[in-house]
A and B are shown apart, each in its own frame.
Chain A
Amino acid sequence: MATKNSVMVFVQQDDGIIAEVSIELISKARDLASRVNAPVSAVLMGNELRKAAESLIPYGVDLLYTAEHKGLAHYTPVPYTKVLVEIIKKHSPQIVLYGATTTGRDIAPRIASALRVGLTADCTDLQIGDYKSKGAQFQNVLYQIRPAFGGNIIATIVSPEKKPQMATVREGVMKMSSPDPSFKGQIIAEDVKLGPDDFPSEILERVKEEKSVNLKGAQVIVAGGVGVGSKENFDLILQLAHTLGGEVGASRAAVDAGYVSKDHQVGQTGTTVRPKLYIACGISGSVQHRAGMDESARIIAINTDPEAPIFQIANYGIVGDLKEVIPRFIKAFKAKV
C-alpha cells in the first residue's frame, strides 16, 4: 500500500489511555480517506505503547507510526513537535487532524508554523471537495467547516496549496465507529532522535481528576444562558437538572458572565452533546451554541423573546420568563413521578 498522501490523525494518549477524540477522528479519517482513495495513518507517541497501539488498529488505521521514548511519556511541546514534524515530513500525509484538547491546541499550531501550512481550529464538519481560485483548479481538498464570527454564518475554509491540510476538532463532534477486530493495519516504529536539549520543560506535578461534569454521556441536559440573569438565579438551572436527573450545560456567554464554570459550556468551543432531551433556558441559539447541541433528540426552548433563533430548532417552545417556567416544570415533574 502506498504510504504517501494518507489522512493522518495525531493520537493523544495520557498515561497509556487513548483520548476518545482521537478515536472519533480516526473514524472520520476513514470516511475522508475513502473519498480521496488514500490510507488512514495515525501517530502515537509515548513510552511503552504496544498495548495502546494494538487497540487502535481495529478502528481502521492502515499505518500506525509509533514514537517511543521515556521523555515522551507525557506531552511537552518541544520534543513532541520535533518528532511529529519529522514523521510528517517523512510520510507526507495530505491531511492531519488533531483533537482540540489542551494538548492538541498546544501542538497543532506549532506544527503548522514549523511546516508553514494552514490550520483551522474547532471545525464542526470536514468534507472533501474541489476548489477553484484565479484559474487554478484543486481537486479533493479538505473543506474545514466552522461557524464564523459575525452572526448566523458558517465558513468553509480551505488550504489547497500547502500540504498537509490541518484542522482541530472538539471531542464529541465526530462519531466514533465500532472497532473491527479483523481489520489489518501495520504498526511501524519510528526512529526517535532526541537529546537533552530537546527537553526544556519538566513536569513537576500533574493532577488530573475524573471529569466532574459529564455532558457527553448525559441523557438529559438543562442549559442556562445569559437570560438566567445572575449566578443566584442559575440555581434554578441546577434545581431543574437535579430534579430530572440530568446534567447542567451553559452558553459561552453564561460562562463568561461567571454563572457557572467553563466545563459546562456547550457549543463549538465547548462540548458537543446529543442527549435525549436538551432544555435551553435563556439561550438565544447562536450558531456557535447550536453547533454543539442541535443533534439532541428533543429540544425544549424557554425564552422571553418569541423571535429567538433557538425556537427554530426546538421541538417544544415556551415563550416566558424562565423564573416562572422552571418552577412550573419542577412542580409538574414531581407531580407525575
Chain B
Amino acid sequence: MGLNLIVLIKQVPDTQNITGNAMKEDGTVNRGALPAIFNPEDLHALEAALTIRDSTPGSKVHVLTMGPPSAVQVLKDSLYRGADFVALISDRRFAAADTLATSYALKCAVEKIGSYDIVLCGRQAIDGDTAQVGPQTAEKLGINQITCVSRIEDIDVDKRTITAVRSIEGGYEKIRAKLPILLTLTDEHYLPRPPSAIKLMTYKSASTEMSNTDFDESYLTSGADLKAENTISLWDINAIGADPESCGLAGSPTKVKTIDLVVLKSEDLRMIENTDESIGDMVHELIADHTLG
C-alpha cells in the first residue's frame, strides 16, 4: 500500500527581486513589476513528497494551491517535477483571505481528495513569513503536525508512523508521530529536482478546467497516468463544499485598519568621506566617546 501525499503550495511575489524598477517614487512596491515565483520552501515540501513517493511504491503526490488563475503556473511547475495530480482552488469569494480563511479553504480542498496520509507544505511563505497556514490547516483537519521539518528520517507504512527531524532554536528535535500528519518543511535538506523536459512538453499547454464532480480516486489504484485529456482541475467554492461565510474577507477575523507610509527623516546624519583620513577621524571619535574599543 502506497501513501497518499498532499502538498499545499503558494505562488508568491519574488521579494528578493525588489530592484529599482519595482519601486515606486514613494518607496512602495509596484507588485506588477515583481516576478511571481514558487514559494521556495513549498518547493522543498514538494521535493520531500516526491522523495517519499519514490521510495514507497504505490504512493501518489497531489498538489493544491489557492490563488488567482495565474497561479496555475506553480501547478504546471509541480507537474514538470513529477506531481501526479494538481488542482487550482480559485474563486473570487476567496479574495482577501487572511490565514484563517485560507486554511479553511485548504482544509475543504484536502477533504475533497478524501483519504490522505501526509499533508506537506513549506514552513512559511516569503511574502508574509507568518508560518500560520500550515498549523491552522492541520488543526482544521483535526490532525497532528510537525513544523520546521528539515528531514524525514523514516516512514513505517505498516505501523503508520513517521520519524522526522525538526529545527528548533539552536538545535533540533527528533519526533516520532502517528499518521495522518501535516508537516511544514524548511529548505535545509530537500534540494528540489529540476523539471523534466519530457513532462514539460506534455504539460506546457495544459488547460485548466472547472471540475465540480467528485474527486476520482480510481487513478490512484489503477496505476494509470492522470491525464489523457491534459487538463488541470479548477475547484471553486462549490467544488470544495466550502461555506462562503468562512471564506475570503467574510471569513477573516483580522482586518487591515490602516496602512501608513513610513516617512524617514535623517536627523543627525553626518556624511563621512571614503578616505583613510575621514574614516580615521570617525573611528577616533567613536573610541573617544566609548562607543568603540
Contacts and interface: CB of A to CB of B under 8 A. Distances in A.
Contact of B144 (A78, A144, A298): A78
B99 A119 contact: yes
Contacts of A336: 280, 283-284, 287, 293
B136 A112 contact: yes
A152 B253 contact: no
Nearest to A206: B173
A200 B292 contact: no
A75 B256 CA distance: 32
Interface in B10-50: 13, 15-16, 18, 23-24, 26-29, 31
A201 B149 CA distance: 14
Nearest to A276: B291
A149 B72 CA distance: 23
Interface stretch (B74-82, B89-97, B163-171, B202-210): B163-171
A119 B132 contact: yes
Contacts of A76: 175
Chain B contact residues: helix, strand, loop or mixed: mixed
How many interface residues does chain B have, given as a range?
A: 35 or more
A302 B284 CA distance: 18
Nearest to B26: A152
Contacts of B275: 328
B262 interface: yes
Nearest to A269: B129
B293 to A, nearest CB: 5
A113 B139 contact: yes
B22 to A, nearest CB: 9
B201 to A, nearest CB: 32
Contacts of A331: 276
A133 B249 CA distance: 14
B259 interface: yes
A153 B29 CA distance: 10
A208 B169 CA distance: 7
Contacts of B16: 253, 256-257
Contacts of B181: 200
Interface residues of A, number: 92
Interface string A52-69: 000000000000000000
A121 interface: yes
A201 B262 contact: no
A203 B264 contact: no
B13 to A, nearest CB: 8
Contacts of B282: 300, 316, 332
A319 interface: yes
Nearest to B293: A337
A158 B254 contact: yes
A31 B250 CA distance: 32
A210 B29 contact: no
A211 B255 contact: no
B55 interface: no
B197 interface: no
A159 B175 contact: no
A35 interface: no
Contacts of A206: 168, 171-174
B103 interface: yes
B140 interface: yes
A272 B167 CA distance: 21
Contacts of B139: 81, 109-110, 113-114
Nearest to A106: B147
B259 A309 contact: no
Contacts of B148: 102, 106
Contact of B172 (A207, A263, A315, A325): A207
B271 interface: yes
A205 B27 contact: no
Given A76-B175, A203-B174, A318-B274, 11 more contacts: A77-B135, A78-B144, A103-B168, A109-B99, A118-B98, A206-B174, A208-B171, A300-B282, A315-B270, A328-B279, A332-B282
8 contacts: A109-B131, A110-B139, A143-B257, A204-B163, A206-B174, A208-B168, A311-B266, A337-B293
Interface of B: 13, 15-16, 18, 23-24, 26-29, 31, 98-100, 103, 127-140, 144-148, 163, 166-178, 181, 252-262, 264-266, 268-276, 279-280, 282-284, 286-287, 291-293
Interface of A: 76-78, 81, 101-103, 105-110, 112-114, 116-122, 131, 133, 143-144, 148-162, 200-212, 220, 244, 253, 256-257, 263, 268-269, 276-277, 286-287, 297-298, 300, 309, 311-321, 324-325, 328-329, 331-333, 335-337
